[in-house]
Amino acid sequence: MSDSRGARMSRRGLFGLGAAGAAVVGAGVVASNTLLDEAPVAHAASISDPFPFYGEHQAGVVTPAQDRLHFVAFDVITKNRAELVELLQEWTAAAARLTQGKEAGSFGAVGGAPEAAPDDTGEALGLPASGLTLTIGFGASLFDERFGLAGKRPAALADLPKFPGEQLIPEISGGDICVQACAHDPQVAVHAIRNLARIGFGKVSVRWSQLGFGCTSSTSRAQATPRNLMGFKDGTNNLKLEDAELLRDQLWASAQDGSAWMAGGTYMVTRKIRMAIETWDRTSLAEQEQIFGRNKGEGAPLGKQAEFDAVDFAAKGADGQPHIKADAHVRLAHPSNNSNAHLLRRGYNFVDGSDGLGRLDAGLFFIAYQRDPRKQFVPVQMKLAKNDALNEYIKHVSSGLFACPPGVRDAGDYWGRTLFE
């Protein structure tokens, strides 16, 4: 927050643009794009800096995981395809501004007419960009007859099967469009989603949303592995942005996968996983470690010393039993036991208060990106759902699957252009 760049990129710095913005209001998306005149910095040197918005891939996938999440799923309520495209263009323009620490509209929170409702809600005034990324995805339900997209539904966007033990709540599952907002400051993430929802009134309706904190997996080797609410390091063996070759094979869709419009995109699976926190907390340390297959302190695979030591599933202890049990989470989820299927996990802890019985309404909002959920998330989760010792302490209550289009290339481009043009 103290560095000069953070201050320069702050929303207050935009006030001078208010008058310039006034001249072009009404000219729409193109005009507001031109206000994005400062080139985004290539790397976020501090947690107040912006990440680039434009690029081959959307930000918010391999971007080093930020601390906070506000995730939202929308239903599209307009039946007019042109209106939907227009909204995506307006959203893109707003996202380009918001991610650079600017206000949602050209007048901003205090730059407009006193009689007018401000075109930015204002709670992020004075805050820097805070590493905000906005990532959009399209749910399978968008590819119905309404917008003529049925023929463009990617094969990889196949409905997820019913997994044993899940208790999905339809009201907090699915959606036509999702937006993942990640930032180092929750105020900034909430501000972004709130303003996008407002821009969308009449065209989309918020179906459900989720706040998250304390990212539970690192997506970069520069980051320490964070812990989930069970106290274990999560994502030790995650796909990371440094794994160029694996990312090409396992993360980014290509035109050869069957849907040309998804080239450079990826598929996002979301699962809200409620944890039985109280019963977990009275489980012995040894049992907790056996369930995960790692020790709690270091995160090392059982039988090893350090977090990143290779997992040895064959190794046995003095009692002749494997260090890592047959139903341990790490064994069931490991790529080596799943035809080398990797996921890029980007989950967040959530606590939605308490549940009225005095229990923490808490758990993991799991987000995973991949090239083809049919080959990656589905087989891994099917195996976990059937066998994982952890299942005694968790319950999947929400599910989502979204096709995240490629990145926005420049100010003339927009989220989903390849799908709609």
Partner 1 sequence: MRTAIRLSFGVLALTTLAACGSGGGAATPSGSAAAPGKIAVAASDTECKVAASEVTAGTTTFSITNGGSKVTEFYVYAPGDRVMAELENIVPGLTRELIAELPAGAYETVCKPGMIGKGIRNALKVTGEHKALNEDAKLAEAVAGYKRYIKAQSDTLLVKTQEFVDAVKAEKVDKAKELYPVARTYWERIEPVAEIFGNLDPAIDAREADLADGEEWTGFHKIEKDLWIKKDVSKDGPIADKLITDVKTIVDKANAAQLTPLNLANGAKELLDEVATGKITGEEDIWSHTDLWDFDANLEGSKAAVQALRPVLEERAPDLVRTLDQKFAAAEAALDAHQKGDGWQLHNELSKAELKTLSDAINALAEPISKIAPAITK
Question: Among residues 204 and 404, whose Cβ is nearest to partner 1?
Answer: 204
Dihedral over alpha carbons 276, 279, 280, 283 (to 10 degrees): -160
Window contacting partner 1 (CB under 8 A); options: 9-17, 52-60, 107-115, 387-395: 107-115
Within 61-100, which residues bind partner 1 (CB under 8 A)? 77
Q: How many whole angstroms separate alpha carbon 117 and alpha carbon 256?
A: 47
Three-state SS letters, the chain: CCCHHHHHCCHHHHCCHHHHHHHHCCCCHHHHHHCCCCCCCCCCCCCCCCCCCCCCCCCCCCCCCCCEEEEEEEEECCCCHHHHHHHHHHHHHHHHHHCCCCCCCCCCCCCCCCCCCCCCCCCCCCCCCCCCEEEEEEEHHHHCCCCCCHHHCCHHHCCCCCCCCCCCCHHHCCCCEEEEEEECCHHHHHHHHHHHHHHHECCEEEEEEEEEEEECCCCCCCCCCCECCCCCECCCCCCCCCCHHHHHHHCCCCHHHCCHHHCCCEEEEEEEEEECHHHHHCCCHHHHHHHHCECCCCCCECCCCCCCCCCCCCCECCCCCECCCCCCHHHHHCHHHCCCCCCEECCEEEEEEECCCCCEEEEEEEEEEECCCCCCHHHHHHHHHHHCHHHHHEEEEEEEEEEECCCCCCCCCCCCHHHHC
Question: Among residues 28 and 231, whose Cβ is nearest to partner 1?
Answer: 28
Within 116-135, which residues bind partner 1 (CB under 8 A)? 116-117
Smallest gap from Cβ 197 to partner 1, in A, equals 9
357: contact with partner 1 by CB under 8 A: no
Smallest gap from Cβ 397 to partner 1, in A, equals 18
Phi/psi of residue 260, nearest 5 degrees: -60, -35
Q: Give the contact letters, 171-200, x = binds to partner 1 (CB under 8 A), - = no.
A: ---------------------------x--
Smallest gap from Cβ 75 to partner 1, in A, equals 9
Smallest gap from Cβ 194 to partner 1, in A, equals 13
30: contact with partner 1 by CB under 8 A: no
Smallest gap from Cβ 172 to partner 1, in A, equals 13
Among 2, 26, 167, 356, binds partner 1 (CB under 8 A): 26
Q: Give the contact letters, 201-220, x = binds to partner 1 (CB under 8 A), - = no.
A: xxx-x---------------
244: contact with partner 1 by CB under 8 A: no
Of 145, 143, 171, 147, nearest in space to 158 by CA? 143
Which residues make beta-bridge pairs with 316? 322
Which 3 state secondary structure label does DSSP give 377?
helix
Question: Among residues 171 and 245, whose Cβ is nearest to partner 1?
Answer: 171
112: contact with partner 1 by CB under 8 A: yes
299: contact with partner 1 by CB under 8 A: no
105: contact with partner 1 by CB under 8 A: no
Question: Among residues 115 and 319, whose Cβ is nearest to partner 1?
Answer: 115
Q: What is the largest CA-CA distance in the chain?
A: 78
Smallest gap from Cβ 251 to partner 1, in A, equals 35
Window contacting partner 1 (CB under 8 A); options: 4-12, 97-105, 109-117, 126-134: 109-117
113: contact with partner 1 by CB under 8 A: yes
19: contact with partner 1 by CB under 8 A: no
Smallest gap from Cβ 115 to partner 1, in A, equals 4
Window contacting partner 1 (CB under 8 A); options: 115-123, 221-229, 258-266, 372-380: 115-123
Smallest gap from Cβ 82 to partner 1, in A, equals 13
Phi/psi of residue 48, nearest 5 degrees: -95, -10
> How many residues form the binding site for partner 1 (CB under 8 A)?
12
Among 37, 115, 319, 421, binds partner 1 (CB under 8 A): 115
Binding residues for partner 1, per CB under 8 A? 26, 77, 112-113, 115-117, 198, 201-203, 205
